[in-house]
Chain A
Amino acid sequence: MWINLLTNALKFSANRERAVIEVGGRQDDGETIYSVHDNGVGFDPQYADKLFGVFQRLHSQREFEGHRGRPGYRPADHSPSRRAGLGGRRTGPRCYLLLYSSSERRLAMTYLDPVDILLVEDNPHEAELIIRALKKHNLANNLFAVKDGAEAWISSSARVNMPNDRWSISPRWCYLI
């Protein structure tokens, strides 16, 4: 989890002359919350709902190569830092198995409980291999396999109860690339 979050923070702040990465944590009302902030590429707050949903990638690959100018894109200087934490706020197909829990007990339990797995793999042979491996270890019970991010979005929206049409990330959802 930390490798994932810190890699993202490093990646998204790579084009800053001086990258700032802040790692924090607190315990609040039975929840333990860890957060990673960076001063890298930001997002327009109007897309916050989408960011907190499944992986909609707001930044094209080009932006990370130094070519900005996507319509509607607001540079980081005018928006809050991207923030990872609270169930995973990065876009992109990442695995957020566990970022917070209601209690320490739950934190331990999460690894033991069966997890829902959304497999996003466009190569059918590799998808088949992964599905076989997961089945072999009785992990495929809650497996949904899709080909790309758009399908993943539709699939998640359709399968998950969405109060007020808003997808909330459950700590028991695991995304695999």
Chain B
Amino acid sequence: MGQLIDDLLAFSRLGRTQMQTASIDMAALVTSVFQELTTPQDRERLDFQLAPLPSAIGDRP
């Protein structure tokens, strides 16, 4: 419930912010998300293959 409220607050702030479109390096984004989601132990048993990804246009925080 606390998490839900935090997320909704973050969401409402997003709605008020002007969008800043920019090119997003998806490979870097995926790599950072993967690092964030896994521990070094996890990564020992994971074969993570990241192909070159096209960039995307998105809102940069």
Contacts and interface: CB of A to CB of B under 8 A. Distances in A.
Contacts of A19: 45-47
A108 B19 contact: yes
A34 to B, nearest CB: 7
A108 B21 contact: yes
A6 B32 CA distance: 11
Given A3-B37, A137-B12, A22 B51 contact: yes
A7 B58 CA distance: 21
B59 to A, nearest CB: 6
A157 interface: no
Interface residues of A, number: 31
Contacts of A26: 54
Contacts of A7: 37
B54 A27 contact: yes
A130 B30 contact: no
A7 B53 CA distance: 19
A22 B2 CA distance: 34
B49 A126 contact: no
A25 B8 CA distance: 31
B52 to A, nearest CB: 8
B57 A104 contact: yes
A34 B53 contact: yes
Contacts of A150: none
Interface in B1-53: 1, 4-5, 8, 11-12, 15, 19, 21, 26, 29-30, 33-34, 36-38, 42, 45-53
Interface string A21-40: 11111110000101000000
Given A111-B19, A126-B4, A23 B45 contact: no
B3 to A, nearest CB: 11
